[in-house]
Amino acid sequence: MTALDLPATVPVLGVRNLSVSYNDVHALDDVTMSLGAGRICGLIGVNGSGKSTLFKALMGLVVPRDGSVELFGMSSASARKQGLVAYMPQAEEVDWTFPVSVSDVVAMGLYGRLGAARRLRAADRAAVDDALERVGLSELRKRQIGQLSGGQRKRVFIARSIAQDARLLLLDEPFAGVDRASERTMTALLKALRDEGRSVLVSTHDLAGVPELCDEAVLLHRRVLAQGDPFQVLTHGNLALAFGPAPAAPAAPPAPSVATVGSTAAPAAAPAAPPAAPNGES
Amino acid sequence: MDVLTFLLEPLQYGFLTRALAVTVAAAVVAAVLSCWLILMGWSLMGDAVSHAVLPGVALAYILGIPFSIGAFVFGAGAVALIGIVRSTTKLKADTVIGVVFTALFATGLAIVSATPSQIDLMHILFGNVLGVSTGEVWQVLVLGALTLAILLFKRRDLTLLAFDRTHAHVIGLNTRMLSALLLGLLALTVVVGLQAVGIILVVAMLITPGATAFLLSRSFDRMLVIAVVLTVAASVAGIYASYYLDISTGAAVVLCQALVFTAVYLFARPDGVLWQARRRRAASRSGSGSTIARSAAGVPPTPTPPTQMPPTDLPAADGPTAGAAAAPPSASRTPDAALPGEA
């Protein structure tokens, strides 16, 4: 485990007044958030609320209209060059028919610090073995990735970020298509990584696991609706703002009047079951 | 006629040995490249580049310079042009590719038709492998070796690029450079291949071997080896078929590759369609859907092809998670995921 020579006061992730537009559509509007070392943050919102766009901005894949992104007190590009950032794609973004094995994918975490031909030395192979061991996939290392279950597939990518020794893990919808048992395994794994001083940003629109997993939460709907302690963020009023009532015009930010309507209409729903959330997605 | 005579008789002719050397060399390079091309979703790009080199070849003949220089300039130019149009309009990639390469191909035809005496269009379009000179053989061998060496040296980066471009970007690799490298090597491969089978049929060499090997492989290195072995076999068989049946060499080689693909498609175990049909029949005879029962019990359906999402975890998910699993990937998948135009 390499210690990082960065002052503890520098946030792992610092986003200031970030706005991102695709042509005329405002995907993110004036988002400000930060994350310290050794913290797990849940990024909560419906599909289309800007979670993926925020991830892309953090990774330098979209150009902000306004505002700034800093990772470990430096530019996103510098942090990426140093291998500090890891990303777990959504299941739909991965070609599961691709002819790579579990250990091939985990080894890809090391490429940033290998020679030009990316040949693995003994120490690198050991790093791959260790990462596979930690996520419990040693037995399945030779499997083609499409031959894994949903939960195992997610763990391959967590192992990749362990092999990479990344300090900030960006996980895009890690619990989608994963059963409860796998979700518990992953939660324990992520907490262990956090306890080593790594930071994790988890996007999700499934609220059930958030208080169990996350140290803090950010509720996003193009703007930051609430952030802080997960229990305070996930109040009925806030959830109504983010998830329901089903938006009539998904492309527009919620009108101010929705707040009052939503906060009185929503209390019937339990916090663990957002009202009609996945149905109103854009 | 015994087997030895059958095999050796064509080799008495110098033009046939040269044809064999050129065809096998071009086929090997194209087969290796095709493995990445089909995984990147760039098959159409191979089609485009091979057609777009026509004006380059025609101009090279007119100016008296090596055809490979003209072809490479126009191949790379087509790639750049596609990238520019793609990034400055909202058109989809296949549309842009279609517009650009047909325009360049037509330009080539216009040039050829304006200078009819100097160029044999049929030779450019369909290859003239029986007429290659020793100098051209060397040109193909050197360019082929260079392309192959670069491809194999950078093979892990190229595989990462094809598998997970975002991860490549996040760990600090230059994904634009890698895309540009692959496209440059594509242009080189087209230059190498068009001598053997011509502009039209080089497309087959760039797609079919990778497609065949993909059906047989679960690891990338194995896919490379299978693609090369099958394409060499098809090339040699094609040359002999061309000699004994007196048919076009390029056509014979491509037909042999297509036959290999067909055989794999039908008969390969366990994923060939005949085996699939057999399993389905066996399943329906042995009572209703044993695989469904296995899935519901949480057993990973290991014997089935890896093309489907194993349903193992899905039935257990409930509420919002189930909705999430079924939901489309929202705006997160950038339309340029499979886009050569970025380079």
CB atoms within 10 A of CB B288: 8
* Percentage of the residues of chain A whose pLDDT score is greater than 70: 83
Final residue in a domain of this structure, among A143, A166, A189: A166
Query: What gap in Å lies between CA A267 and CA A246, rounded to an integer?
Result: 15
Determine, for residues B169 and A80 on separate chains, whether the beta-carbon distance falls below 8 Å. yes
Q: Do both A52 and A172 map to the same domain?
A: yes
Determine, for residues A99 and B319 on separate chains, whether the beta-carbon distance falls below 8 Å. no
Q: Do both A73 and A114 map to the same domain?
A: no
- For residue A274, what are its two tokens? 């957002």
Q: Do both A220 and A160 map to the same domain?
A: no
Is the CB of residue A84 less than 8 Å from the CB of residue A201?
no
Question: Looking at the predicted structure, is the pLDDT value of residue A158 above 70?
Answer: yes
Range of the domain at A104: 96-166
Query: What gap in Å lies between CA B287 and CA B59, rounded to an integer?
Result: 67
Q: Do both A172 and A249 map to the same domain?
A: yes
Query: What gap in Å lies between CA A20 and CA A40, rounded to an integer?
Result: 24
Determine, for residues B170 and A86 on separate chains, whether the beta-carbon distance falls below 8 Å. yes
Q: How confident is the model at residue B288, as a pLDDT?
A: 52
Q: Do both A224 and A261 map to the same domain?
A: yes
Assess if residue A189 is contained within a domain.
no
The DSSP annotation for A11-49 comes to -SEEEEEEEEEETTEEEEEEEEEEE-TT-EEEEE--TTS
Q: How confident is the model at residue B304, as a pLDDT?
A: 42
Is the CB of residue B211 less than 8 Å from the CB of residue A123?
no
A–B CB contacts, 8 A cutoff, strictly below: 176
Determine, for residues A177 and B325 on separate chains, whether the beta-carbon distance falls below 8 Å. yes
Domains in chain A, number: 2
Query: What gap in Å lies between CA B19 and CA B130, rounded to an integer?
Result: 6
Q: Do both A158 and A235 map to the same domain?
A: no
The pTM of the full predicted model, rounded to 2 decimals, is: 0.81
In the predicted model, residues of chain B with pLDDT beneath 70 are 1, 116-118, 287-343
Q: How confident is the model at residue A164, as a pLDDT?
A: 95
Query: What gap in Å lies between CA A53 and CA B39, rounded to an integer?
Result: 26
Give the residue carrying structure tokens 């195992």. A152
Closest CA to B144 of B92, B189, B205, B99: B189
Q: How confident is the model at residue B155, as a pLDDT?
A: 95
Question: Looking at the predicted structure, is the pLDDT value of residue A20 above 50?
Answer: yes
Assess if residue A192 is contained within a domain.
no
Q: How confident is the model at residue B193, as a pLDDT?
A: 87
Assess if residue A5 is contained within a domain.
no
Instruction: Using the CB atoms, write b or e for A44-75: b if 16+ within 10 Å.
Output: bbbbbbbbbbbbbbbbbbbebeebebbbbeee
Q: Which of residues 120-159 of A touch B (CB under 8 A)?
A: 144-151
Q: Do both A134 and A177 map to the same domain?
A: no
Query: What gap in Å lies between CA B118 and CA A58, rounded to an integer?
Result: 57
Which H helix or E strand runs over B205?
Answer: helix B175-216
Final residue in a domain of this structure, among A141, A166, A191: A166
Q: How confident is the model at residue B279, as a pLDDT?
A: 86
Assess if residue A191 is contained within a domain.
no
Is the CB of residue A116 less than 8 Å from the CB of residue A91?
no
Q: Do both A176 and A273 map to the same domain?
A: yes
Assess if residue A7 is contained within a domain.
no
Q: Do both A34 and A79 map to the same domain?
A: yes
Query: What gap in Å lies between CA A58 and CA A69, rounded to an integer?
Result: 6
Sign for the CA dihedral angle at B183, B187, B189, B190 comes to positive
Determine, for residues A61 and B334 on separate chains, whether the beta-carbon distance falls below 8 Å. yes
Assess if residue A187 is contained within a domain.
no
Q: How confident is the model at residue B117, as a pLDDT?
A: 64
Q: What is the mean pLDDT of residues A2-22?
A: 78
- For residue B29, what are its two tokens? 């390079």
Assess if residue A90 is contained within a domain.
no
Is the CB of residue B54 less than 8 Å from the CB of residue B101?
no
Q: Which of residues 131-190 of B touch A (CB under 8 A)?
A: 153-154, 156-157, 159-160, 162-164, 166-173
Query: What gap in Å lies between CA A217 and CA A210, rounded to an integer?
Result: 8
Which H helix or E strand runs over A70?
Answer: strand A66-71
Is the CB of residue B193 less than 8 Å from the CB of residue B30?
yes
Query: What gap in Å lies between CA B108 and CA B110, rounded to an integer?
Result: 5
The DSSP annotation for A222-253 comes to SEEEEEESHHHHT-HHHHHHHT-SPPSSTTSP
Q: Do both A235 and A128 map to the same domain?
A: no
Assess if residue A155 is contained within a domain.
yes
Q: Do both A56 and A112 map to the same domain?
A: no
Query: What gap in Å lies between CA B221 and CA B226, rounded to an integer?
Result: 9
Which H helix or E strand runs over A200?
Answer: strand A199-204
Q: How confident is the model at residue A211 (pLDDT cuts 50, 70, 90)?
A: confident
Q: Do both A102 and A220 map to the same domain?
A: no
A90 CB within 8 Å of a chain B CB: yes
Give the residue carrying structure tokens 């037995």. A139
